[in-house]
Structure 1
Amino acid sequence: MALNWLERWREGRIGFHRPQVHPALIEHWPLLGAKPGTKVLVPLCGKSLDMRWLAQHDHPVLGIELAEEAVEQFVAEGTGEISRYRQEPFAICRQGSVELWCGDFFHFHIEQAAEIDAFYDRAALIALPPATRQRYAFHLAQLIPPSARGLVISLMRAPGDEGGGPPFSVCADEVRELFEPNFLVTHLEDGEPEEGSGFRESVWAMVRRGPAV
């Protein structure tokens, strides 16, 4: 899975990258109640412009991405001074209030997530095969403190379209099964089927369960 992802970035096969900010982020993020200054975790972030939108709306961003090409393209396409440093096993690149940690999301631990109090997932859950999604949801829950809020965008294929991936189809029942043990899950909307792909997006608001909720 990891090798396939890296090959797609190296070969420029990144049709999954959106050249504009996701409209669901613009519509729903302000309703989550994440306060200005709240640091947002973006797993498997690629070079998403959604991170710049979050930063422009007073949120420091910590994106985690396996492909070095994605990190380098993100900062090359942006403006402002770039600083680089390491926190093993990650190489970190900062531009403005966006930090990109290049490495494996599953090697990012709670000690490194001390300031994170929100999250945004548009491309992580749907990039992972079924066997890894359970591990992802559990690991994310370990990084997010009680009462922290997040937005998740999943994809579901049309009935009868088995397809492959990534991106993978993740039905509503699976989203609830994965996240409800640790999050309060609210279904916000289903989008229209995407022309040519058969995918329909679903948008979910989440609040980490815990004593502070």
Structure 2
Amino acid sequence: MGQEWRDRWREGRIGFHRDATHPALMRYWPRLGVRPGTKVLVPLCGKSLDMRWLARHDHPVLGIELAEEAIEQFVAEGDGAVSRYRQEPFTICRQGSVELWCGDFFHFHIEQAAEIGAFYDRAALIALPDATRQRYAFHLAQLIPPGSPGLLISLTRAPGDTGGPPYSTDAAEVRELFEPNFRITHLEDGEPEPGSGFRESAWALVRRGPRV
């Protein structure tokens, strides 16, 4: 799986990358009530412009990405000095208020997530095959403090289309994966994308448990 994503970035097969901020992020993030200054975790972030939008709206961002090519493209296409350092097993680039951690999301642990107070997932869940999605949902829950909000964008493919990535994740699976640890609110189902039949859905999540 990891090598497949590296190959996609190396070969420029990144049709999943959007060249503009996701409209659901702009529409629904303000409704989550995330306080300015709250650090936002963005798993499997690629070079998403959504991170720059979050940074412009007073949120430090911590993105985690396996493909070094994605991180290098992000900083090359941005403005400002880049600092680089290492926190095993990750190499880290910082540009402005965006930190990009290069490595395996499943090797990112709670001690490294101490300042995180929200999350945004537009391309992580749907990038993972069925056998890995439950592990992802559980690991994400371990990183997010009780009471903290997040925005999830899921995707379903046209009926009968079992390909991927991106993988189809319907509403029943989203609830099955996340309801044990999050309160979930369905926000919208988008229109099918012309040519692909993909339909995105937006969800607001809040980590269950007492706020510390």
The residue that corresponds to 1:46 in the other structure is 46
Q: Deviations over 1:18-77 (max 9, x none)?
A: 000000000000000000000000000000000000000000000000000000000000
Other-structure match for 1:184 = 183
Shift of 1:125: 0.1
Corresponding residue for residue 96 of structure 1: 96
The answer for the alignment partner of 1:199 in structure 2 is 198
Q: Which one-letter code corresponds to 1:53 in the other structure?
A: W
Q: Which ranges in structure 1 are unaligned for 5 or more consecutive residues?
A: none
| Aligned equivalent of 2:118 | 118
Gaps of at least 5 residues in structure 2 are none
Is 2:6 the partner of 1:21?
no
Rounded to whole Å, the distance in 2 between the matches of 1:153 and 1:36 is 22
CA distance in 2, matches of 1:116, 1:211: 16
* Structure 2 counterparts to residues 27-176 of structure 1, below 5 A: 27-159=27-159, 161-176=160-175
Task: Kindly report the root-mean-square deviation, in angstroms, between the aligned alpha carbons of the 2 structures.
Answer: 0.8
Name the counterpart of 1:8: 8
Residue type of the partner of 1:151? L
CA distance in 2: counterparts of 1:157 and 1:79, whole angstroms = 36
Q: Is the 8 A contact 2:145 2:211 kept in 1?
A: no
TM-score (normalizing by structure 2): 0.99
How far apart in 2 are the matches of 1:49 and 1:102? 17
Query: Structure 1 CA distance, aligned partners of 2:81 and 2:157?
Result: 41
Moved over 6 A (4+): none
1:163 shift after superposition: 3.0
**What amino acid sits opposite 1:167 in the alignment?**
P
In 1: Cα distance, 2:185 partner to 2:158 partner: 22
User: What is the deviation of 1:157?
Assistant: 1.5
